[in-house]
């Protein structure tokens, strides 16, 4: 492969990888004792948009991460994902999409239930 072709291939790969959709989903975190505060659930889709990851850090410092998978042909407008916390807790999230098959970048609403009793609700 010539240096010119190698440069073109590398540039195309970088352009493809930078095409991943990502961003915060802003909302409210309500803890079991009733206190509520602003929080964000973050997402990043894969290059082709069928899969991705979700993550969130609670005010306690616990970090949650987990994958999601989108079926672009399903008539259902939702994605369900379980995020594992680094302290043993779980966060079960259900994203209701504005359009089926578009993923979080197309807008919608989310509700997550924390295994310790709290909830996160937001729109994107």
Q: What is the pLDDT of residue 71?
A: 76
pLDDT tens for 54-105 read 999 999 899 999 999 987 777 778 899 999 999 999 999 999 999 887 788 8
Give whole-number Cα distances, 16 to 39, 47, 48, 71, 80, in Å: 30, 7, 9, 21, 26
CATH topology of domain 20-123: Lipocalin (2.40.128)
Q: Tokens 């073109």 appear where?
A: 8
Q: What is the pLDDT of residue 120?
A: 98
């Amino acid at each position: 492969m010539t240096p010119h072709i190698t440069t073109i291939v590398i540039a195309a790969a970088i352009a493809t990888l930078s095409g991943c959709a990502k961003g915060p989903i802003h909302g409210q975190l309500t803890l079991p004792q009733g206190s509520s505060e602003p929080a964000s659930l973050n997402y990043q889709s894969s290059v082709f948009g069928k899969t991705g990851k979700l993550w969130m850090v609670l005010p306690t410092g616990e970090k949650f991460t987990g994958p999601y998978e989108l079926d672009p042909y399903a008539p259902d407008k939702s994605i369900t994902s379980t995020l594992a916390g680094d302290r043993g807790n779980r966060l079960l999230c259900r994203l209701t999409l504005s359009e089926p098959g578009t993923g979080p970048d197309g807008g919608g609403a989310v509700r997550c239930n924390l295994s310790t009793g709290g909830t996160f609700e937001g729109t994107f």
